[in-house]
Amino acid sequence: MPSSGAPEAGAFQVWWSVFLMRMATLREFWYWQVVGWLLFPLGIAFFFKMAMAGDPGAAVYVVTGNVVMGLVINTVQMVATDLAWARQRNDLDFFATLPVSRLQLVMAFVAVAALASVPAALINLQAAAWVLEVTLTWHPVLPLIVILSVLSMAGIGVMIGVTARSGTHANLVYNVLMLVVMFLSPVLVPAERLPAVLQYTAAALPTTYAAHALREAVTSGGAVLRDVAVLTAWAAVSLWLAVSRLEWRRD
Amino acid sequence: MAVYEVRNLTKIYRQGAAPANDDLSFDIEQGEIFGLLGPNGAGKTTLVRQLVGLVKPTRGSIRLFGHDIVRSAAAVPRCVAYLAQRPLAVAEVYVSDAIALTGRIRGLGRREAAARARELMGLFGLEPVARRPIMRLSGGQQRLVTLALALIGDLPVLILDEPTNELDPEHRRLVWDLLLERNRRHGTTVVLVTHNVLEAERVIQRVGIINHGRIMALGRVGELKARVDQRVRLELRFSAERGEVPPAARVGETAGGQVLELARGHYAVLVDRAELQAAVARVLDAFGPGRLEDFRIQTPTLEDVYLQLGGGTGLAQQRSA
């Protein structure tokens, strides 16, 4: 089949080009991203400082739960709404008519969200610890946990983004998810304090494992293997499902 | 050699709904400029989206350079550049980056992509806005960026959906000239979807008129023109400032043909070719060139072909509904 004569671009060259295009969205709205990164989680930290002063156990939950909340705010929302709006406006046609694969496109969306989320998560961790006067131990496994948490959240974001009927629909689903993560799962409070039924449902959410792994990593550096395995599985399965469900040209 | 071979192509979006494309069969030959004309809702966009592999047909086949793209459209982006309506996917990207990165995705090296991007920006007068996000440009400038995005990489097939929408006359001419030049120098096959029939006539070599999901007429422009009303059109525009404006009936009687009143004092008279010379003489004799603000003689145009061979039916039906 005739082509332009130019050699086919390598997989990395294509992904990098799409990634750079997507990065432009951060350049346009970075100040709102920074506000989103910091203001909401820090607000929660200050609120809990006032509400449960002097409870160091609860403070650790709030510090690590804050990071998870930040990841949900940044990663899930960014990926889900960006993809859903792009689908609604047929924006993805632009990429689908270029030699770009579904996986390259989705991983470009995820990489941009990760780039925005990982530094924010680490800053949040330190800032909330400062507000709540918690001493952190920076265990070497922490970056891995943050990255896996971002990927598993991104997987959820992509799932919402490729299945929502519109950008508005994606926002509504995200709001429900946010409610579940904040108040109905052991992210900001210990699992034992939740009703039994919520303890079961929480076991299915990656945020539960992300929060647990983070608590272990910043306090004792204890057992995180199960959390890492679950987060890896969540990231792999959700991203695979999302990529396969994305409407695309018929490859 | 056929670039596209489309056979019995049918697309039905919902069971029970009228087909958006109904049993279409045609070829697009290598190196030709093929115009796809039709009213809004005729099925043009559905057809184009199937040609670029974005929509799966309900029935029928599409071959691109002999490859079955209904089974797999993975190869389409390697040889077909598609210009959609607006570059919203890259709205936040700087103009120069969007063009160069699109070139990179199509396989150009870093330097070559940057050089080609500069060249295209120069051609379209986009250098002053090169470091501006696309979304901050005017509609016309955004349209020029989408053209540059389609052109970079020099793919052998270009599918352009309304390429001159929102462009000023100078840029419209530039686009048509550029398409002709690409076609002549590089043998680029161009599929042009447009409403701008009069302007597109400059470049289109073969045309398909589509309406209600079906092809109403297909052929070379000259062949189709031979199938429509062969009467010559005399257009006369009178101005009250130059004297009394004659009524339509008198203009028709004088010219000896069917008269249409286009606006007050603006008439079109359809006369047989054999009668043309006498009709012109009678008109000039009766009214004198001094009373005529404008006077034109026009043989059948692509717009006449479009309106008489099916392109206008949809609008006429909508008006009567």
Report DSSP letters for chain A, one per residue. Answer: ----SSPPPPHHHHHHHHHHHHHHHHHHHHHHHHHHHHHHHHHHHHHHHHHTTT-HHHHHHHHHHHHHHHHIIIIIHHHHHHHHHHHHTTTHHHHHTTT--HHHHHHHHHHHHHHHHHHHHHHHHHHHHHHTT------TTHHHHHHHHHHHHHHHHHHHHHH-SSHHHHHHHHHHHHHHHHHSSTTSS-GGGS-HHHHHHHTT-HHHHHHHHHHHHHTT----HHHHHHHHHHHHHHHHHHHHHS-----
Question: What is the mean pLDDT of the segment spanning B33-52?
Answer: 91
Mean pLDDT of chain B: 89
Question: Which residues of B, range 60-89, sit inside 8 Å of A by Cβ?
Answer: 64-67, 69-82, 84, 87-89
- Rounded to the nearest 10 degrees, what angle do helices A167-183 and A77-88 cross at? 160
Residue A106 lies in a domain: yes
Question: What is the mean pLDDT of the segment spanning A164-185?
Answer: 88
Task: Categorize the per-residue pLDDT at B130 as very low, low, confident or very high, splitting at 50, 70 and 90.
Answer: very high
Give the DSSP H or E segment for B181. helix B169-186
Q: For residue B241, what pLDDT is reported?
A: 81
Chain B contact present for A95, CB below 8 A: yes
Query: In Å, what is the CA distance from B134 to each residue of A134, B84, B126, B149?
Result: 46, 15, 11, 12
Q: Check if the beta carbon of residue A86 is closer than 8 Å to that of residue B89.
A: yes
Q: For residue B79, what pLDDT is reported?
A: 92
> What is chain A's alpha carbon radius of gyration, rounded to the nearest angstrom?
19
Residue A97: is its pLDDT beyond 90? yes
Question: Which residues of B, range 210-249, sit inside 8 Å of A by Cβ?
Answer: none
B124 SS3 class: helix
Residue B104: is its pLDDT beyond 70? yes
Decide: residue A27, CB within 10 A, 0-12 exposed, 13-18 middle, 19+ buried: exposed
Residue B314: is its pLDDT beyond 80? no
Rounded Cα–Cα distance for residues B37 and B40 (Å): 10
Residue A154 lies in a domain: yes
Q: For residue B22, what pLDDT is reported?
A: 94
B201 SS3 class: coil
Q: For residue B316, what pLDDT is reported?
A: 41
Residue A104 lies in a domain: yes
B154: left (phi > 0), else alpha (psi -120 to 50), else beta? left
Q: Check if the beta carbon of residue B159 is closer than 8 Å to that of residue B80.
A: yes
Residue B187: is its pLDDT beyond 50? yes
Span of A70-79, B15-24, B150-159 with lowest mean pLDDT:
A70-79
Say whether pTM exceeds 0.90.
no
Q: Which amino acid is at A161?
A: G
CB-CB neighbors (< 8 A) of A93 in chain B: 49, 54, 82, 84, 89
Q: Which amino acid is at A26?
A: L
Residue A5 lies in a domain: no
Highest mean pLDDT among A137-151, A184-198, B114-128: B114-128
- Rounded to the nearest 10 degrees, what angle do helices B110-124 and B139-151 cross at? 140
B218 against A133, higher pLDDT? B218
**What's the complex ipTM?**
0.85
Residue A195 has, within 13 A of its CA and on its CB side, a CA count of 4
Q: For residue A4, what pLDDT is reported?
A: 59
A13 against B292, higher pLDDT? A13
Domains in chain A, number: 1
List the domains of chain B with CATH numbers.
Answer: 2-226 (3.40.50.300), 231-299 (3.30.70)
A45 against B188, higher pLDDT? B188
Residue A3 lies in a domain: no
Residue B237 forms beta bridges with which residues? B266, B294
Rounded Cα–Cα distance for residues A123 and A131 (Å): 12
Residue A225 lies in a domain: yes
Domain region containing A76: 11-245
Q: For residue B188, what pLDDT is reported?
A: 95
B209 SS3 class: strand
Considering only CB atoms, A249 lies closest to which of B53, B108, B112, namely: B53
How near does any CA of chain A get to the CA of B152, in Å?
10
Q: For residue A13, what pLDDT is reported?
A: 96
Across B272-318, where does the E strand assignment appear?
Answer: 292-298
CB contact under 8 A, B101 and A90: no
How near does any CA of chain A get to the CA of B288, in Å?
57
Residue A77 lies in a domain: yes
Tokens of B66: 């002999």
Residue A124 lies in a domain: yes
